[in-house]
Structure 1
Amino acid sequence: MSLPEPVIRPDAVDHYDRLLSSDALPSDSFCLTAVRGLGVDEALTRFGGIPRWREADLGETGVRSVNAYPDELLTVVAGEVSGWVLLAENNGWHGAKADVLQQLSRDTVVASAFWNVNFHSTLSLACGGELLGAFDFVIGTERPDALLPYLDGLAFDDPYRKCAESLAFVERVSGTRLTEEWATTPHQASAIVDLRRFLPKDPTVWLRSNEPELLDWAATASSDDVRAAAAETARAACAAVDIPAEATLDDVRRDYTRTLQLRWDRCAPPDPALDRIAQLQASVTRHRTEPAEERLAEKRAHARAAVIAARCDNPVDALAAARCNAVRAGRAR
């Protein structure tokens, strides 16, 4: 599969600098991903979103994400432009993750740009399910060969224009321009259902940091005893939320999706018809009100994930992952 020829427009960096300076685009934390030739529904599905879920513009999704804090609400806005789907995240980074780009780029091409207030940044190019290269444009790491045709003339030496240059990179790959009209118009919008929070890559790291005594015990106990402890952890987590100790990944996804649906609704922007004092009062009320149904759905997602974790082939990993999810179920506020 061939990569597209670079589309270099001389005004691209100035265009994005203007949008960022005017707050038409998020300047603090933003991720823009472009994928070629997919429908919006397919792009959202591959990305971890839910097609036909909601409609919103970038500004609204950013407000909902901030209103959710300290809870997590990752959101994406998706719309088609000239044969490419743009996936835009206000205060997100999902499109900067290697496995997401690999999944999204199956049989096609993907480019993404990401930065946040902590000076983390990435430009990425993926094709045919393979990440061809990634470049940290803030630190200025070595530029991968695959990205060079699209980076020609982008110096990334002006700290005030680096983010604009990163968006110009996505435009050069896709040939599509992210406009102010696109950014401020409602498109398909979704929470991102990322199940990795339930499936820690190395659960023993979590156990070592949080319950080192249990990890020490597991290192010397028999496999049967460790396996039994994992199963009991999962059983207790499920009993605490009145569900049977049996689960599939689809069960976890269903509960977590419900969590995010309720969180999205809870974190709506203030009614613009209200005066500032009334908006502030509404915000205080939202933060003080316990979202019981949302918390229960989240607890159940983690409890079911503990059941799945307890089946891991390695008994120590099974115990560690089960404990991780059981503790998170208990901490769901």
Structure 2
Amino acid sequence: MAELLDLTDVLGEGGCVTLVRRGLIEVMSAMGVEGVREVRWVEVADRLGELPRAELRDLPVMMLARSLPSGWTVVVEVDGWTGWVGAQRDVLERLSEGGGAAASLWRSPNNEEVLYAEDGEILGGFDPTTGHRWGAHQDKFGPVAEALGFSLSGVEDQGEDLLPLSVGQRCACALEALTGVRLTRAMFDDPWQGGLRRV
């Protein structure tokens, strides 16, 4: 089996990855993006590097997406100054309506969370570093916790079974355990489809 992707290698210390079981244009529209076009990763990096931080709050957020052969769409955000779109509860609920599914992972330095929604409802959340689960349907995260080596009887009992993974790998593993989608380095290669979301 291929080694787990370390999301830190592609996103750095912050970012948001959202997986949605819907088509790309439908997903981007539901996330507030208009005018989807081909975008290269360097355009996003250049845009972030050229502007003083104070000006970033007034800019629209760049969203990047690609369709996967499995029928899922992956959306990536690196513009986190206004909050992660994919981590907003109402957005995930909208993306999962009508029997759909949506999972989102957001990271900032020393903080990460995975959220999951099905059929228009947030089922819960999971911290891939501590194993903490929350939500009305946190049992959905049992396989995720097991995949990372956490004890299902409680974080305090995790012992030495935790897999020796980096934080970025733990995040990728959590998304895979929820969706069945294995993130690979090739998924982050150019070109992307992308557009701006007005905040």
TM-score range relative to shorter protein: 0.7 to 0.9
SS in 1 for 2:132: coil
Give the alignment's Cα RMSD to 1 decimal. Answer: 2.5
2:102 matched residue in structure 1: 110
2:194 to 158, 172, 189: 189
Q: How does 1:47-196 map to 2 (within 5 A)?
A: 47-52=31-36, 54-68=37-51, 69-70=53-54, 71-72=56-57, 73=59, 74-81=61-68, 82-92=70-80, 93-107=84-98, 108-117=100-109, 119-138=110-129, 140-142=131-133, 144-155=138-149, 161-194=166-199
Matched position secondary structure for 2:114: strand
Measured after TM superposition, the shift of residue 166 of structure 1 is 1.1
* Partner Cα distance (1:168, 1:39) in 2: 23
Look up the SS of the partner of 1:181 in the other structure.
Answer: helix
Q: Could you tell me how far apart the structure 1 residues matched to 2:163 and 2:12 are?
A: 15
Contact 1:48 1:193 in 2 (8 A): yes
AA of the residue aligned to 1:80? S
Bigger-Rg structure (1/2)? 1
Where do residues 203-218 of structure 1 align in structure 2 (5 Å cutoff)? none
Identity of aligned residues (%): 29
Residue 48 and residue 62 in structure 1: after superposition, are their counterparts in 2 closer, same or farther (change >3 A)?
farther
1:153–1:15: structure 2 CA closer, same or farther, 3 Å change rule? Answer: closer
Q: Deviations over 1:16-63 (max 9, x none)?
A: 13x64xx3x112112111011x221100011121242x3223443243
CA distance, structure 1, for counterparts of residue 164 and residue 108 of structure 2: 13
Which residue does 2:154 correspond to in 1?
none
**Pairing partner for 2:11 from 23, 26, 34:** 26
Q: CA deviation at 1:150?
A: 2.9
Greater helix percent: which structure? 1
Q: CA deviation at 1:158?
A: 7.6
Deviations, residues 268-289 of structure 1 (Å, cap 9, x unaligned): xxxxxxxxxxxxxxxxxxxxxx
Give the corresponding residue for 2:158: none
Distance 2:129 2:40 in 1: 27
Distance in 1 (alpha carbons) for counterparts of 2:35 and 2:175: 23
In 1, Cα distance between the equivalents of 2:11 and 2:179? 20
SS at match of 1:152: helix
SS at match of 2:5: helix
Q: Secondary structure at the match of 1:28?
A: coil
- 2:26 aligns to what? 42
**Deviation per residue, 1:42-91 (Å, 9 max, x gap):** 00011121242x32234432432343432234221111102000011124
Contact 2:128 2:174 in 1 (8 A): no
Label 1:176 to 1:158 Cα distance change in 2 as closer, same or farther (>3 A): closer
Equivalent residue of 1:50, what SS? Answer: strand
Change (3 A) 1:15 1:137: closer
CA distance in 2, matches of 1:85, 1:51: 17
Which consecutive residues of structure 2, in runs of 5 or more, have no partner in the other structure? 151-161
Matches within 5 A, 1:236-251: none
The CA deviation at 1:140 is 4.4
User: Is the strand fraction higher in 1 or 2?
Assistant: 2
Is the Cα–Cα contact under 8 Å of residues 27 and 95 in structure 2 kept in the other structure? yes
1:243-292 deviation digits (Å, cap 9, x = unpaired): xxxxxxxxxxxxxxxxxxxxxxxxxxxxxxxxxxxxxxxxxxxxxxxxxx
Unaligned runs of 5+ in 1: 1-9, 195-333
User: TM-score, length-normalised on structure 1?
Assistant: 0.48
Asked whether the equivalents of residues 58 and 89 of structure 1 are also in contact (C-alpha less than 8 Å), the reply is no
For residues 58 and 138 of structure 1, what CA distance do their matches in structure 2 show?
Answer: 28
Give the distance between the partners of 2:62 and 2:168, measured in 1 at CA: 20
